[in-house]
Structure 1
Amino acid sequence: MQRDQQRPFRERCDEAAGRQVRSLEAGWEHTSGPVVAVVPGLGALGYLLETVGECAAWARTFLLDVPGFGRRGPQGCPPEIPAIAETVSAWLAQVAGGPVVLAGHSTGAQAALHVAAAHPDRVSALVLLGTTFPPEQRVLSGLARGFTRNSRHEPPGLFRATAPYYLRGGPRALARFVRSAQRDEPEHVITGVRCPVLLARGEHDAFAPQPWLDRLAAAAPDGRSTTVPGAHTFPFRQGRLTADLIRRGADLR
């Protein structure tokens, strides 16, 4: 039995920014201590379930279904970084009840970064996992090279964990999502973050190469970085390791 199946999840739907935002909640028995909110990459939840289950051992934890690929029907928000950041910010104000440890992976890290910069009162610590995209990948050719280098190191089973979300989102929404992420400039946004920031990448992550991670960590007023085993989607099948990173971020508050 996989670890994410050992700890129960419950689905909830809350109104934020005039939209219904779905999330998966675990660890609701924790009535004190940190609250963790996790923003997925490209709207796929499946590869982060184990991470959320591990976080729930020590914190009330939410996995946000943004932009809304987790089920059929109206999306929680448009599949673009600014809209996702706005929705997450509104959700935090509506549901969290105080500053949270905000974690994001991949494009989710880009959105989480905007939230922390725009609303410092809602984020006590920020954990950025595999933050995309360095400047050289903001054109199609650079993105394709990164995809080729990274893909050879991703574990088996990743496609099965993410494909249902991508299929529900559809190719147009995914393309819109990626283009929005390519237009984003995290290196400028991170200078406005006032809470502690922990950045992490997989050692074979071609979408978040080491020089890019170092640049972001140096630009943050209170930033530090680390490298862990794996490629870009290192949280998949490494839920305990990823949860430990998030806990390290929580300890920086």
Structure 2
Amino acid sequence: MHTTGRQRYTVRWDKAAGHRVRSLHTGGDHTQGPQVVMVPGLGAPGYLLDALEGCGAWAESFLLDVPGFGHRQPRACPARIPALAGLVSAWLASVPREPVVLAGHSTGAQIALRVAAGHPERVRSLVLMGPTFPPALRRVSGLFGALVRTLTHESVGELGVTVPYYIRGGVGELFRYVRSALHDAPERVIGRVACPTLILRGAHDAFAPRAWVHRLAATAPHGRSMTVPGAHNFPYRHGGLASALVAEAARHR
């Protein structure tokens, strides 16, 4: 068992699609009410621990370590958006007791979106935080410019909770993950989501610009959007706010 601030979490391993999937689990004493499942961006769960702890204060909550950069190989699946969505869908079919509040950040939002669209029976509410990538950023020039504009508003402390995962995952696999995300088209998927959808972006997030987030929310049958303090990785510095908004989304049915 690990202690990180207010709550404690345990590391658990579950079988899904024939693979062992690692997750961080907290709030297990909440046997009634919704369950929360969080999907991190680029396979680095560490920066979402505060948000996980906040959710664990009111709901049984899981933070998935997919594709498995938080442990040694073998990986649960390749670091590609379609494969990751398939793995998360299989995990949701075997572990939670009921449809969940599914929250994804960054590329994790792309995964969560595919899961909610493909398996509506497994998701009761969807939260997309800093969803990537709008069409203008699906080429190197646009992506680099967004990176520069966003990094000036991020915290140096994020390096300590993301870089170790990237190193463990490997530069090649991380590159393939990003390339897969750049070939994804969330705007073609979100119209198939049946559950209420809350889309969040940081005020200084160039990866999820305001117009892009508004467009996604308008396309979702039950979508709404909100801008919050911070930049792309706002859940790292504002974990309490992120968890409170996930709680609000859980009540919005």
Please classify the TM superposition score into its range, dividing by the shorter chain length. over 0.9
Q: Is 2:172 the counterpart of 1:149?
A: no
Unaligned runs of 5+ in 1: none
Match for residue 77 of structure 1?
77
| 1:48 maps onto 2:48 in alignment | yes
Structure 2 counterpart of 1:225: 225
Secondary structure at the aligned position of 1:98 is classed as coil
- The equivalent of 1:235 in structure 2 is 235
Aligned pairs for 1:32-71 (under 5 A) are 32-71=32-71
Letter in 2 for 1:41: G
Q: Tell me if 1:99 matches 2:99.
A: yes
Q: CA deviation at 1:20?
A: 0.7
CA-CA distance at 1:15 after TM superposition: 0.8
Residues 103-122 of structure 1 correspond to what in structure 2 (within 5 A)? 103-122=103-122
* Superposed displacement of residue 155, structure 1: 1.4
The alignment's C-alpha RMSD in Å is 0.9
Cα deviations across residues 80-100 of structure 1 (Å, max 9, x unaligned)?
Answer: 111110000000000012100
Aligned residue number for residue 181 of structure 1: 181
Report the equivalent of 1:133.
133
- Give the C-alpha shift of residue 141 in structure 1: 1.1
Counterparts of 2:243 and 2:6, CA distance in 1: 15
- For 1:104 and 1:188, locate their aligned partners in 2 and report how far apart those are by CA, in whole Å: 17
Which consecutive segments of 4 or more residues in structure 1 shift more than 4 A? none
Q: Tell me by how many angstroms 1:43 deviates.
A: 0.4
Distance 2:113 2:38 in 1: 12
Aligned partner of residue 126 in structure 1, secondary structure: strand
What is the CA distance between 1:4 and its match in structure 2? Answer: 3.5
In the other structure, the counterpart of 1:209 is 209
Partner of 1:22: 22
Paired amino acid for 2:177: F
Instruction: Output the TM-score relative to the length of structure 2.
Output: 0.98
2:204 alignment partner, SS class: coil
Flag structure 2 segments of 5+ consecutive residues without an equivalent.
Answer: none
Deviation at 1:5, TM superposition (A): 2.7
Q: Deviation per CA, 1:38-96, whole angstroms, max 9, x where unpaired?
A: 00000001100010001000000000000100111211111011111000000000001
Alpha-carbon displacement from aligned partner over 1:182-203 (angstroms, at most 9, x marks no partner)? 0000001000000000000000
CA distance in structure 2 between the partners assigned to 1:185 and 1:151 by the alignment: 24
**For the residues of structure 1 that align with 2:79 and 2:49, how far apart are their CA atoms?**
21
Q: Distance in 2 between matches of 1:72 and 1:6?
A: 28
Task: Give the corresponding residue for 1:192.
Answer: 192
Q: Distance in 2 between matches of 1:191 and 1:117?
A: 8
Separation in 2 of the partners of 1:239 and 1:75?
27
Distance 2:28 2:107 in 1: 26
Partner of 2:123: 123
Task: Give the aligned partner of residue 167 of structure 1.
Answer: 167
Cα distance in structure 1, aligned partners of 2:177 and 2:11: 24
**Which whole-Å CA distance do the structure 2 matches of 1:145 and 1:191 have between them?**
29
Percentage identity across aligned positions?
57
Aligned counterparts of 1:212 and 1:149: Cα–Cα separation in 2 = 16
Letter in 1 for 2:20: Q
Supply the AA of the counterpart residue of 1:125.
S
Matched, 1:89 2:89: yes
